[in-house]
Structure 1
C-alpha cells in the first residue's frame, strides 16, 4: 500500500526528484517559489513510499479561502499547468491518487483538494469521489525534422510566418534582466483582453515574479517581435525544462497583428527549443486557434474533491464571483480617465 509522508525541501530531496523522467518545470524548486510568492501559499512536498521503498513524490501548495485549508496541485488561477506526482513507471497513478486522499484531508487537515496531473486519465479518477472537468492541452512533438514540423502546420499559418519575415518582423531574445520586457508584455496583454471587454486575470507583478524566479536557472525564454522600424509589437513568455517548453503567455498589439508577429514568435520558439534537445512544445490549453500549428490534443482532466457539499459550493461560487469581478473591473477601466 502506498503512503504519502510530508518532507522538508532539502538539497538531497530536490536531487532525487530530478531523477524521475516524468518531472516537469512545475515540480521544480524555482517554480514553487514563484507560486508561493504570488499566491501566498505554502509548498507541500511529500515522498510516496511502498513499504520501505520510495517510489515517487507529490507536489502541491496549501492556501486558505474562507478560513479553510485548500490543497492545490495546482489551483485554477495559479498560471501553473500541472503538478501532481512524479512516479516510478511501475506505480499506477490511480494508486498514488488514492493515497493522496487521507494525506490531504487527514494529515494536512484540508477541506478541499484540486489536482491536475499530466499522467492522470479519467479512468484513474472513477470511484474515488472526485469531480472533474475535461481540460485538454495542445502539444507539438518536436522530434521530427524542422521542415517536417513546418509542413505539418496549416497552409495559412506557414504563409503568415513567411509574411512576417517579408514585412521585416524580427524576433529578438530578451535578456532576463531586461526590466522593460514585463512592461511590454503586460501592456500588450491588456490590449488582448480589452478586445473581449476583459482585463488580465493577474497583475504585472506575477510576470516579474516568474522571470525573477526562473531566470537564474536558465529555465525561461523571453521573446519580442519587432517591426521594420524596431518597435516591439508582440511578446511571448516560454518557460522550459527537461523535455518540454510551455507557452505561458503571449500578447501583441491589435493594430499590428496584420504583420503576423504571433506566428513568427511561435516558429522561433519551436526551433529554439528543438536545437536544445527539447522534445515537446505544450501550448497549455486546447484553444482551437492552436491547431494551425500542427498540434495534437492531449487529455489532462482537472479533478477536485471537497470534504463537504458546502465547501464544494463555496468553490463554485468563488469561481463565478471571480468572473463577475473581472468584467466589472473591465467596465470601470473603460470609463476611467
Structure 2
C-alpha cells in the first residue's frame, strides 16, 4: 500500500531527490523558494512509501483562497510548468497519485488539489474522482546534431534565422544586469497589448525568478540587440538536468521584421545542446511553435475538490481573473 509522509527539507533529502531520473527544475529548492515568495505559499515535501520502502518524492505548495487550503503541484498562474512526483523506475504513478488524495485532504486538510505531473497520463487518472483537461506541450529532441535540428525547422523559420543574422541582430547572454527584468517586462507588455491584454504577472516575478535561480546557474537569460545596439527582444530560459524550458520571451512589435525571436530560440537550442541538455520544452502547444520542428506531448492537468462548492469557487476565480485582466487592459489604453 502506498502512502505519503510529509518531511522537512534537509541536505540529505535534496541529495536523494537529485538521484531520480525524472527530476525537473520545478522540484528543486530554488524553484520552490521562487514560488513560495511570489505566491505566498508554503512548500510541502513528502516521501512516497510502498509499505515500508521509500520509492519516491512529492513536491507541492499550499496556499489559501477564500479561507480554504489549496494544494498546488502546481496551480494555474504560478508560471510553473509541472510538479508532482519523482519516482523510482517501474513504480506506478497511478498508485502514488491515489495515495496523494488522503494526504492532501486528510493530512494537510486541504479543500482543493491540482496537479500537473510531466509523466502522468490520462490512463492514470480514471476512477480517482479527478477532473482533468488536456494541456499538451511542444518539445524538441536535442540529441540530433545541429544540422539536423536546423533542417527539422520549417523553411520559413530557417529563412528568418538567416535574416536576423544578415540584418545584424546580435544575441548576448545576460548575467548580473539589474536592467534585464525591466526590459523583458516592457517588451512583454507590448506582446500582450497586441491582444488588448496586460501581462498576467508583475515585473517583480521576473526579478524573483532571476534572484532565486540565477546564483544556482540554472537560468539562461538572452537579449537580442539590433545593429544599433538597442535591445529589441529577450528570453528567459530555466534549465536543469535534461531539459530547458521556455519560461518567457518577448519583443517589440516594430522590430519583429528583424526576426529576433527565431534567433533567440536558435541560440538557446544550441547553447542547451552543448551542455548536455536533451530536450527543449516550449511549455505549451501553441501552433506557432510547430515551425521549430516540435513534437506534441500530452500532459493532463488534473484537479479534485472536497466538495462541488469548492470546485465552483475555483472555476469562478479563473473566470474573474480573465475578466479582470481585460478590464485592466481597457483602463491602461485610456490613460
TM-score (norm: length of structure 2)? 1.00
CA-to-aligned-CA distance 1:203-261 (integer Å, 9 cap, x gap): 00000000000011100000000000000000000000000000000000000000000
CA-to-aligned-CA distance 1:123-156 (integer Å, 9 cap, x gap): 1001110000000000000000000000000000
1:264 Cα offset (Å): 0.1
Q: Which residue of 2 aligns with 1:156?
A: 156
Q: Which residue of 2 aligns with 1:266?
A: 265
Ranges of 4+ aligned residues in structure 1 off by more than 6 Å: none
Q: Which residue of 1 aligns with 2:238?
A: 239
Q: Which residue of 1 aligns with 2:189?
A: 190
* SS in structure 2 at match of 1:230: coil
Alignment of 1:1-337 (within 5 A): 1-175=1-175, 177-336=176-335
Determine the C-alpha separation between the residues in 2 that align with 1:174 and 1:20. Answer: 30
Q: Which piece of structure 1 moves more, 299-308 or 50-59?
A: 50-59
Q: Which runs of 5 or more structure 2 residues have no equivalent in the other structure?
A: none
Aligned residues: 335
Determine the C-alpha separation between the residues in 2 that align with 1:89 and 1:136. Answer: 23
1:52 Cα offset (Å): 1.9
* SS in structure 1 at match of 2:190: helix
1:43 Cα offset (Å): 0.2
1:90 Cα offset (Å): 1.6
1:68 Cα offset (Å): 0.2
CA RMSD of aligned residues (A): 0.4
Determine the C-alpha separation between the residues in 2 that align with 1:217 and 1:188. Answer: 26
1:53 Cα offset (Å): 1.3
* SS in structure 2 at match of 1:318: helix
Determine the C-alpha separation between the residues in 2 that align with 1:274 and 1:309. Answer: 46
Determine the C-alpha separation between the residues in 2 that align with 1:95 and 1:188. Answer: 44
Determine the C-alpha separation between the residues in 1 that align with 2:183 and 2:318. Answer: 29
CA-to-aligned-CA distance 1:36-92 (integer Å, 9 cap, x gap): 000000000000011221100000000000000000000000000000000011210
TM-score (norm: length of structure 1)? 0.99
Determine the C-alpha separation between the residues in 1 that align with 2:215 and 2:174. Answer: 14
1:186 Cα offset (Å): 0.3
Determine the C-alpha separation between the residues in 1 that align with 2:328 and 2:279. Answer: 37
1:16 Cα offset (Å): 0.4
CA-to-aligned-CA distance 1:268-314 (integer Å, 9 cap, x gap): 00000000000000000000000000000000000000000000000
